[in-house]
Structure 1
Amino acid sequence: MFSNKHPFLTAISLALGSAIALGLGRFSYGLLLPVMREDLDWSYLVAGTMNTANAIGYLIGALSSPVMMRKISVNRFFIISCVITAIFLFLSGCTDQTVALFIYRVIAGIASAWVFVAGGVLAAQLGSIHANKSGLLLGIYYGGPGLGITLSSLTLPLVGQWAMDIHWQHSWQLSWYAIAMMCIILTLLLIKPVQSIPAVPPKKAGHSGTPIQSYIPILAGYFMFGVGYIGYMTFVVALLKQLGLASATLNLFYALLGVAVMASSRLWAKLLDHFKGGQSLAILNTLLGIASFIPAFLAIYGAQMDGAAIVAIFFSGLLFGGVFLSAVASTTAFVKHNMPQADWVGGITVFTSIFAAGQIVGPTIVGWISDGQGGLAQGLVLSGVALFIGGFIATRQKPLKQK
């Protein structure tokens, strides 16, 4: 089978799915937010609510994933969900109505969660087949959104410029069409390798053998991760634009952030393999908090955008990109280290749900704060504080004793 002979290519194929679910389905919005906000006359609260809509859908998708995977094989579910995500990203370019965009973001969020949960289960299964490469294979899967971020940062500025050149009424609409097209291309590439992974047998409905009470600290730390990281990913481009960075510099910043996400799989593989409790999440949350504070403090203290400030901003992006999806991978590693295989779907679903709940809270609060006197910088300070709190809480998680 392809997955037995080519574990890394199979992991890369799974990563194309995570690129669709998060890199294109969610994080590309960070590039479109400034132009959509200006064109549609949105407040930062409304702009943030669009990512909240995506997170609401993500929560619904996470909670419904186990039911769906009892009705259809995990492999097929993963592929179908990629297609559904692409459809509703395409529809996001078919309207300029805020309510319709909100609904499409919700449905795209549902499908994205289906992709991510199913992909996490398949990545864990692939890691169990190739146990000596498990951490790296998980890291490759969770580094996939970096590809989506990089594709967005390279493609959307060109599409947006072309839309303006041909006098398209809402230039950002063509960008959504381009995102959907990229999703379909990536889906076609991943079908054969993903189908070759032996699926985890679905567990009958009922109580998990691993009680949630036994891993409350890492769940709470992961909730704060969801609150904190999404504020950065939603608003950092808008903040840097406010600080006066040129469009070309902004696109390079976002592209390098995406490259750092892809590179993070090897960077943190040994960490994920070594720690069995909440230590990995604690370390990664703390680093993300530092990355969030850098652009916020530059804005608060009115730093001139000279060479040193630009270097600091790019360091923030590289650090954030090199860490944030490894924090997600750390929870799948925790499930794999501490739960029997029959509980993997349930465990990953619980983590994905708490992640989604944090993402619902994060963009709305950060957007609300950003509309106030403190502006976007105060919103990113909140993100950093949430991440530091999440890091501290995660240190309280000990490895589980399996029966």
Structure 2
Amino acid sequence: MSLARQKQEAANPLGSTDRHDFLTVAALALAPAVGLGIARFAYALVLPDMRADLGWTYADAGRMTAANALGYLIGALFAARTISAGGAFRVMVSGAFACVVALGLCAIFRNDALLNAAWFLAGIGGSLAFVAGGVLATGIAQRHPARASFLLGLFYAGPGLGILLSGVGVPLVLEQLGPGSWPAAWTVLAVLSLPLAFGLWFAKGEMRPSPAAGQERAPVRRMAFLLVGYFIFGAGYIAYMTFMIAWVQNQGAGAGFQSLFWIAIGLAAMVSPWLWAGVLKRRLHGRAFATLTGVTALGAALPLLSGAKPVLLASATLFGGAFFAVVAATTAFVRRNLPPQSWASGIGVLTVSFGLGQALGPIGTGLLNDFTGGLSGGLWASAGLLLAAASIGSLQRDLAASPPLAASPDSS
């Protein structure tokens, strides 16, 4: 792309970016909306009614989140091979529809093992949809270097959209239908996800990503502080996203406020890719990760200080506005410090670390909640883990005095 074209795009982000590419990325954002926003996080909305109706302990509830996280980890580990075999678009669509099927199965099953299996399937499908969609979105962004950050931000706004949409209807359905109506809530989520999955067909023309560079192993030992911090972050953030609606409900909040709380998380998550763009671009070493994880920790701690509704909404806004940006911070670190042929390895090892934390965190938090007889112990643990993750991540240093891609227009 010519320098003149890049300057034109930078001056006018929407008007100059090819309309078809912009709309394609907007369609691709529906993949994480289904795969993450709904098929990972919406469980929190249904959990209180499921737990009461099925007689679950908090550890039982945490195991279902862990099953989803384990599915996500397995999907991420096999995503590259699956995309090479079937094509990114096909894998993305298949993953999204697997999530829809899993949501429907959760509306049918009452057996614990079957519910966990269905949510495990949602984790695999969500991972494949997100990774494959990200591959396609990155390929489009590379055609518009000056607007790469904007286009990738549009894709990463998808999870927030899914959170927002699920928050609009599920709490009200549960309130209207009464105790034991969680199968209806899962049905609503499946019906909501179906048109979003079909919407991915608007991206059908984007069948192939750019050719991948040769693969080289990332220097894992030199990334140790970031890897450990990311593992702890995975364990800490998922506890909040699993049990926070139950906490809000225990504070006496009705369906309307529960909906507002979840929508606040979704809206904040939607704007976070652009809100933190400057931090991701300017904060070197592990500082962006530490800053964003610290903001997430503050959001997680606020409800423990006060159950007032303004404080709870502040918690939702802070947490929602930062937690997904932490993922972007790790990606920015890899792209800034490693050559392109090591990106897949670097992101892959970070994904494994994060995924293990996500899988173990809900079980440990659930056991702690059962031991203490309430949710406060688990939420204190969530905030403490996030603070520890920020502290450890802050020790990470860039891997070279002159990072290879520090000036790359899409490194943020």
For the criterion TM > 0.5, the same-fold answer is yes
One-letter amino acid of the structure 2 residue matched with residue 173 of structure 1: P
One-letter amino acid of the structure 2 residue matched with residue 111 of structure 1: G
Shift of 1:226: 0.5
Cα distance in 1, alignment partners of residues 157 and 271 from structure 2: 7
Cα distance in 1, alignment partners of residues 205 and 331 from structure 2: 21
Mapping of 1:3-402 within 5 angstroms? 4-161=18-175, 163-164=177-178, 170-193=180-203, 195-196=205-206, 198-202=208-212, 208-298=216-306, 309-373=308-372, 375-401=374-400
Call closer, same or farther: CA 1:225–1:125 in 2, change over 3 Å: farther
Call closer, same or farther: CA 1:351–1:120 in 2, change over 3 Å: farther
Call closer, same or farther: CA 1:342–1:195 in 2, change over 3 Å: farther
Call closer, same or farther: CA 1:392–1:128 in 2, change over 3 Å: farther
Greater Cα offset, 58-67 or 338-347: 338-347
Cα distance in 1, alignment partners of residues 374 and 171 from structure 2: 25
CA RMSD for the aligned pairs?
Answer: 2.3
Cα distance in 2, alignment partners of residues 347 and 254 from structure 1: 32
One-letter amino acid of the structure 2 residue matched with residue 18 of structure 1: P
Shift of 1:103: 0.8
Correspondence for 1:302 = none
Give the 3-state SS of the residue equivalent to 2:371 in structure 1. Answer: coil
Cα distance in 1, alignment partners of residues 135 and 330 from structure 2: 12
Greater Cα offset, 108-117 or 91-100: 108-117
One-letter amino acid of the structure 2 residue matched with residue 353 of structure 1: V
Identical amino acids, percent of aligned pairs: 36
Call closer, same or farther: CA 1:98–1:10 in 2, change over 3 Å: same
Question: How many residue pairs get matched?
Answer: 387
- Asked if the contact 1:70–1:202 (Cα under 8 Å) also holds between the matched residues in 2, the reply is no
Call closer, same or farther: CA 1:346–1:226 in 2, change over 3 Å: same
Give the 3-state SS of the residue equivalent to 1:26 in structure 2. Answer: coil
Greater Cα offset, 359-368 or 262-271: 262-271
Shift of 1:122: 3.0
Call closer, same or farther: CA 1:258–1:365 in 2, change over 3 Å: same
One-letter amino acid of the structure 1 residue matched with residue 209 of structure 2: A
Cα distance in 1, alignment partners of residues 300 and 360 from structure 2: 17
- Asked if the contact 1:264–1:322 (Cα under 8 Å) also holds between the matched residues in 2, the reply is yes
- Asked if the contact 2:17–2:144 (Cα under 8 Å) also holds between the matched residues in 1, the reply is no
- Asked if the contact 1:139–1:329 (Cα under 8 Å) also holds between the matched residues in 2, the reply is no
Call closer, same or farther: CA 1:225–1:195 in 2, change over 3 Å: farther
One-letter amino acid of the structure 2 residue matched with residue 297 of structure 1: L
Shift of 1:374: 5.9
Give the 3-state SS of the residue equivalent to 1:323 in structure 2. Answer: helix
Give the 3-state SS of the residue equivalent to 2:107 in structure 1. Answer: coil
Cα distance in 1, alignment partners of residues 21 and 389 from structure 2: 33
Correspondence for 1:301 = none
Deviation string 1:225-245 (CA, Å, 9 cap, x unpaired) is: 101110111011111111222
- Asked if the contact 1:136–1:269 (Cα under 8 Å) also holds between the matched residues in 2, the reply is no
Cα distance in 2, alignment partners of residues 105 and 312 from structure 1: 32
Gaps of 5+ in 1: 299-304
One-letter amino acid of the structure 2 residue matched with residue 138 of structure 1: L
Cα distance in 2, alignment partners of residues 134 and 378 from structure 1: 42
Give the 3-state SS of the residue equivalent to 2:237 in structure 1. Answer: helix
Deviation string 1:304-351 (CA, Å, 9 cap, x unpaired) is: x5xxx2211110111111111111122222233333334433333322
Shift of 1:157: 2.8
One-letter amino acid of the structure 2 residue matched with residue 133 of structure 1: R
Cα distance in 1, alignment partners of residues 366 and 327 from structure 2: 23
Call closer, same or farther: CA 1:73–1:201 in 2, change over 3 Å: farther
Cα distance in 1, alignment partners of residues 298 and 368 from structure 2: 20
Greater Cα offset, 345-354 or 65-74: 345-354
Call closer, same or farther: CA 1:375–1:104 in 2, change over 3 Å: same
- Asked if the contact 1:65–1:349 (Cα under 8 Å) also holds between the matched residues in 2, the reply is no
Give the 3-state SS of the residue equivalent to 2:285 in structure 1. Answer: coil
Cα distance in 2, alignment partners of residues 14 and 28 from structure 1: 20
Output the TM-score relative to the length of structure 1: 0.89
Shift of 1:275: 3.6
Deviation string 1:345-388 (CA, Å, 9 cap, x unpaired) is: 33333222221111111111111111122621111111111111
Greater Cα offset, 7-16 or 151-160: 7-16
Gaps of 5+ in 2: 1-15, 405-412
Cα distance in 2, alignment partners of residues 124 and 341 from structure 1: 13
One-letter amino acid of the structure 1 residue matched with residue 216 of structure 2: S
- Asked if the contact 1:14–1:190 (Cα under 8 Å) also holds between the matched residues in 2, the reply is yes
Call closer, same or farther: CA 1:360–1:209 in 2, change over 3 Å: closer
